Amino acid sequence: MGPHVSVAAARMRKPSWKDPRLLIGLLLVLGSIAGVSALLGTADRTTQVFAARNDIAVGQTVTESDLAVVKVRLDDVEAAYVTVENGLAAGKVALQRVAKDQLVPKQSLGSSDALDRKPVTIALEEELPEQAVPGARVDVWISMPGSNSAFEEPELLLPSAEIAEMTDGNATFGSAKTTVVMVLVTDDQMPKLLGAQANKAKVSVVWNPAGVIR
At 42-75, the pLDDT tens digits run 555 788 999 999 999 998 999 999 999 999 888 8
| Residues forming beta bridges with residue 206, ordered by sequence position | 139
Please give the backbone phi and psi of residue 5, each rounded to the nearest 5 degrees, phi first: -65, -40
Residue pair 172/180 in contact by the 8 Å Cβ criterion: yes
The DSSP output letter for 127 is P
At 104-157, the pLDDT tens digits run 999 999 998 888 888 999 988 888 888 889 999 999 999 998 877 788 899 999
Identify which of 208, 116, 196, 122 has the alpha carbon closest to the alpha carbon of residue 161. Answer: 208
Q: Does domain 47-113 have CATH number 3.90.1210.10?
A: yes
Each domain of the chain, given as residue ranges in start order, spans: 47-113, 116-207
| Contacts of residue 206, Cβ cutoff 8 Å, sequence gap at least 6 | 138, 139, 140, 141
Please give the backbone phi and psi of residue 210, each rounded to the nearest 5 degrees, phi first: -70, -30
pTM of the model: 0.66
At 160-184, the pLDDT tens digits run 999 998 887 654 445 456 788 999 9
